[in-house]
Structure 1
Amino acid sequence: MNPPDYPTEDVPLQGVNYGGLPIQPAVVQQTAVNINTDVPVIIEYPQDHIIWSICCFAYANPFCLGLAALIYSIKARDRKVAGDVDGARHYGSTAHGINIAATIIAAIGFFIFIIIISVIMAQAPSYY
């Protein structure tokens, strides 16, 4: 849109002669890009927490909770491969809860162990 107080005239570009060489008008190529606005539906697959379950099984396995979490994680992965999203979500959430319980119990046990060792080391010189 041009302001109304300015005159609008079309002036053709002409080749100008600079030192004997005429300037040719430039050819402009335009490229059109089509952007697809249809967003594909992304299926959110549930997590199976297999790595966390392996760590709980190998490093902190209180009351065999790490083994139970590993079994549920493997079941969740099998359900996910089979295409049963609801079953994979159920087994994955169960494995997640068991992993949380195993991690908390192992952390509390580790801290109690550290406190007991430090108390024994602090009182050891008084016995000698």
Structure 2
Amino acid sequence: MIKEEHGVKSAVTHIRSETSVPDHVIWSLFNTLFVNPCCLGFIAFAYSVKSRDRKTVGDLTGAQACASTAKCLNIWALTVGILVTIALTILSPVVL
């Protein structure tokens, strides 16, 4: 849809909100900045941004696929990060 106001043409994009696709950007950003084992947080962030872009374009199926991948990578990043933190906490007094 093109609108023209005061001689300036602008494109207006309407995003349908019938289906809500969570993109997990905040969770991915947290994992990228604080946890990030084996760059899983960064890869999850990339998929989250890809999901948001596809949702903006209107490709809900692609957005759901990317969001699902981002969620899986975030779960793995958080799990591995917690396990490594616990292991280092337990092993550090033993080694020292």
If the TM-score is normalised by the length of the shorter chain, which range does it land in?
A: 0.7 to 0.9
Structure 1 position 44, deviation (Å): 2.0
Query: Per-residue displacement from partner, 1:5-27 (whole Å, max 9, x unpaired)?
Result: xxxxxxxxxxxxxxxxxxxxxxx
Distance 1:113 1:46 in 2: 37
Structure 1 position 116, deviation (Å): 1.2
Structure 1 position 80, deviation (Å): 0.8
Q: CA RMSD in A?
A: 1.3
What corresponds to 1:90 in structure 2? Answer: 65
For structure 2, the 5+ residue unaligned runs are 1-16
Distance 2:65 2:21 in 1: 9
After TM superposition, the score normalised by the length of structure 2 is 0.78
Query: Per-residue displacement from partner, 1:30-64 (whole Å, max 9, x unpaired)?
Result: xxxxxxxxxxxx61221100000001100011111
Distance 1:76 1:55 in 2: 17
Distance 1:110 1:101 in 2: 14
What corresponds to 2:5 in structure 1? Answer: none
After TM superposition, the score normalised by the length of structure 1 is 0.59
- Name the one with the larger helix percent: 2
CA contact (8 A) 1:62 1:105 kept: yes
For structure 1, the 5+ residue unaligned runs are 1-41
Query: Residue 65 of structure 1 is aligned with which of 33, 36, 40?
Result: 40
Q: How many aligned residue pairs are there?
A: 80
Structure 1 position 118, deviation (Å): 3.4
Distance 1:105 1:43 in 2: 35
What corresponds to 1:101 in structure 2? Answer: 76
Name the structure, 1 or 2, with higher relative contact order (CA <8 Å, separation 6+).
2
Structure 1 residue runs of 4 or more that deviate by more than 4 Å after TM superposition = none
Query: Residue 50 of structure 1 is aligned with which of 10, 13, 25?
Result: 25
| One-letter code aligned to 1:67 | F
